[in-house]
Amino acid sequence: MGGQVYAQATSELWSTAGSEPARIVVARAVGLLAGRARCRLADAHRHLMRMASAQHRDVGEVAGRVIRLLDSAGAVDDRPGPETVQRLVAVALAGPGTVVPEPAPATGPTPWLSIVQGVLDALPGMAGYLTPVRGPDGTGLTDLVWAAVSPDAISPDGRCGAELLGLPVSRHYPDVLTADRWQTYQRVLETGEPADIGPLHLGDAEFTVRARALGPGLLLSWDRRDATDRSRVERLANLGWGEWNLVSGEISWSPQMYRIYDRDPGLGPLSLDDGHALTVVEDRPQLLSALEFLHRGRRADVVTRIRSGDRVKHLRIVCEAVRDGEGRTLRLYGIIQDVTEQQAGAERLAEVERDLAAEHELAARLQRIILPVPTEAIDLPGLSAAVRYLPAGDDTALGGDWYQAIPLPDDSVLLAVGDVAGHGTQAATTMAQLRHALRALAVVTSDPGALLGHLNRLTCDLERDNPELAATAVIARFDPIRGELTWAQAGHPPPLVSRSGRTAPLHRPPGPMLGVLDDAAYTSAVTPFGGDDVLLLYTDGLVESRRWGWDAGLDSVITMMDAAGSAPEQPLTDLLGRLRRANPDDDACILAVRPSMADARLAGLTPCPSAASFR
């Protein structure tokens, strides 16, 4: 389809390049760029415009530089005018039965052949321009000589492209001088009537040849008829091609087009109007808009629906138009692909996406029901507390991290953070059982070590039904009268205490993970807590990562708390907002508390010792 693209690009160039000499220069530069880069003329045209814009130069000036760089054929000023170039394209693209008047005699061979070569440089496929060799009396056709050739042209003896230039055809096809097609070539040269020849069998291959008169010579283009391979490719891609000649009314379809439209090949191809009638009513305005786009000389790419029997098919239609020098549309070339399966797949993906969104919303609701996380600070006897829950990257799965912060009957406060390994319903169920059990057990005892002992026996009992169950926890009791924190842990990361702008982890008393030993014992430790101290209880998702060690994650949190310690008036919710989990695949639950000096019972407390004393 390179010739059609060239015609379209050339027509666009006439409207953008300015004066006629500038148009010729730009057209030549575009041809050279396309030939060198082996790209479409339209792409070369856009590239040239971008070059001019980037260099802040006139497009004609940049085109001249491109020609001087890529073409050593000589000056541009003596090239044929734009009428010659337009006629050249019109002749090259003329269909069967189309008569094109003879061009004006060329002023010399070099400019003419240079223009012809520029056209062929941009054409994909095999084509060549041949000059006739006449008999002694100037009549009769004795041979043809390669004068210009497309890069993809190849002869039976293996010569290709520029290697053919200057050689007689009889050297490659010695039998052609006596073949029937030789008379066809003579007739095309004498009458100007184009001809299509084929199929021709040359060696093991089959070809079709198009012959067109072009000035004093003959323009040939030929295609190898690999019908089986081409049909296989069309079936694999589920696409076909079609050509609609708007002048003659002739329509050509590939075999796959009939399969796409479920049409009997004996009925012939559909006209544009008949194809439009099959389009789903809601999609017809979109298709008409695409056709308007084509008639303005631009490529159309649209997905539309057609009704085929009791089925609805989704078709992707990619079309280009060929126009004459006055902008009138002559032909439409289109590739049509049945994308029904792809569209169905896209709709299924959209449905999965909607399901995932619904699942995410359900998981978030369940998480809020099982573990409500307040957005504001919590007021407790002698304490102010704040909670933050950071879900894992897969936030559609329920996690097993939990917290507890409740007042006790003796005006002390129970604080806890725990972690059940894994995600999903089982982890969330175990988490809820441990959290609610802790609240119930706190009615019997407020000793952290004793409470962990009870939770351990419960976890061991649950582990019998779930052998892979693993859980950790830390429990603390704050006495606002004494200004003391009594705490114990079960295989859990140590709490952090920030005091006077310095943060350090508490030294952990012994205590195994929950559910490991039926008769495990848990020892409690005591540390002072008052003034501007801040306590941080957290799960391992905050500090533990595959990319770095536990210590590096802990140091990062300590650095953040040290910076916050320089502003003791900072709200706890702001402090927690600065923390980020170290492991995106794991949840993190964080509970931060500080003494509330508004409580009169704390007014007489003495300052706590330095941070070094609670290591």
Cis peptide before 407 (omega within 30 of 0): no
The candidate with the shortest Cα–Cα distance to 124, out of 153, 144, 86, is 153
Q: What is the pLDDT of residue 72?
A: 41
**Six token digits for residue 298:** 């631009």
3-state secondary structure labels for all residues of 543-561: CCCCCCCHHHHHHHHHHHH
For residues 240 and 223, give the distance between their C-alpha atoms in angstroms, rounded to a whole number.
Answer: 18
Task: State pLDDT tens for residues 534-582.
Answer: 999 999 888 877 666 677 888 888 888 887 765 566 678 777 777 765 5
For residues 63 and 48, give the distance between their C-alpha atoms in angstroms, rounded to a whole number.
Answer: 7
Q: Is the confidence at residue 339, as pLDDT, over 90?
A: no
Q: Is the confidence at residue 40, as pLDDT, over 80?
A: no
Q: What is the pLDDT of residue 525?
A: 96
The candidate with the shortest Cα–Cα distance to 341, out of 262, 238, 259, 256, is 238
- The pLDDT confidence band at residue 456, using thresholds 50, 70 and 90, is very high
Q: Is the confidence at residue 100, as pLDDT, over 80?
A: no
């993970």: which residue's tokens? 513
**Six token digits for residue 478:** 């704050």
Give the H/E segment covering residue 335.
strand 329-338
Q: Is the confidence at residue 99, as pLDDT, over 60?
A: no
Q: Is the confidence at residue 313, as pLDDT, over 80?
A: yes
CB environment 188-222: b (16+ within 10 A), e (fewer): bbeebbbbebeebebeeeebebbbbbbbebbbbbb
Cα-to-chain-centroid distance, residue 208: 40
Q: Residue type for 224, please?
A: R
Stretch 274-288: mean pLDDT, rounded?
86
The candidate with the shortest Cα–Cα distance to 498, out of 604, 570, 401, 404, is 570
Q: What is the pLDDT of residue 84?
A: 47
Q: Residue type for 38, please?
A: R
Beta bridge partners of 196: 210
For residues 152 and 122, give the distance between their C-alpha atoms in angstroms, rounded to a whole number.
Answer: 10
Task: State pLDDT tens for residues 7-18.
Answer: 444 444 444 445
For residues 86 and 104, give the distance between their C-alpha atoms in angstroms, rounded to a whole number.
Answer: 13
For residues 15 and 22, give the distance between their C-alpha atoms in angstroms, rounded to a whole number.
Answer: 11
- Lowest-pLDDT range of 339-343, 381-385, 411-415, 491-495: 339-343
Q: What is the pLDDT of residue 438?
A: 94
- The pLDDT confidence band at residue 483, using thresholds 50, 70 and 90, is very high
Q: Is the confidence at residue 613, as pLDDT, over 50?
A: no
Task: State pLDDT tens for residues 245-275.
Answer: 888 888 888 888 888 888 888 888 888 888 8
- The pLDDT confidence band at residue 523, using thresholds 50, 70 and 90, is very high
Q: Please give the model's pTM, rounded to 2 decimal places.
A: 0.46
Q: What is the pLDDT of residue 544?
A: 79
The candidate with the shortest Cα–Cα distance to 117, out of 154, 153, 142, 144, is 153
**Six token digits for residue 155:** 């002869």
Q: What angle do helix axes 59-70 and 41-55 make, rounded to 10 degrees? A: 120
- The pLDDT confidence band at residue 139, using thresholds 50, 70 and 90, is confident
- Lowest-pLDDT range of 227-231, 417-421, 511-515: 227-231
Q: Is the confidence at residue 20, as pLDDT, over 50?
A: yes
Structural domains of the chain in order of their starting residue, each with its CATH number? 2-190 (no CATH), 227-338 (3.30.450.20), 371-614 (3.60.40.10)
For residues 17 and 59, give the distance between their C-alpha atoms in angstroms, rounded to a whole number.
Answer: 7
Q: Is the confidence at residue 487, as pLDDT, over 60?
A: yes
Stretch 495-507: mean pLDDT, rounded?
90
For residues 353 and 347, give the distance between their C-alpha atoms in angstroms, rounded to a whole number.
Answer: 10
Sign of CA dihedral 530, 531, 533, 534: positive
For residues 114 and 117, give the distance between their C-alpha atoms in angstroms, rounded to a whole number.
Answer: 5
For residues 612 and 499, give the distance between their C-alpha atoms in angstroms, rounded to a whole number.
Answer: 10
């289109």: which residue's tokens? 334
288: number of Cβ within 10 Å: 12
**Six token digits for residue 435:** 């959290």
Q: What is the pLDDT of residue 489?
A: 96
- The pLDDT confidence band at residue 352, using thresholds 50, 70 and 90, is low
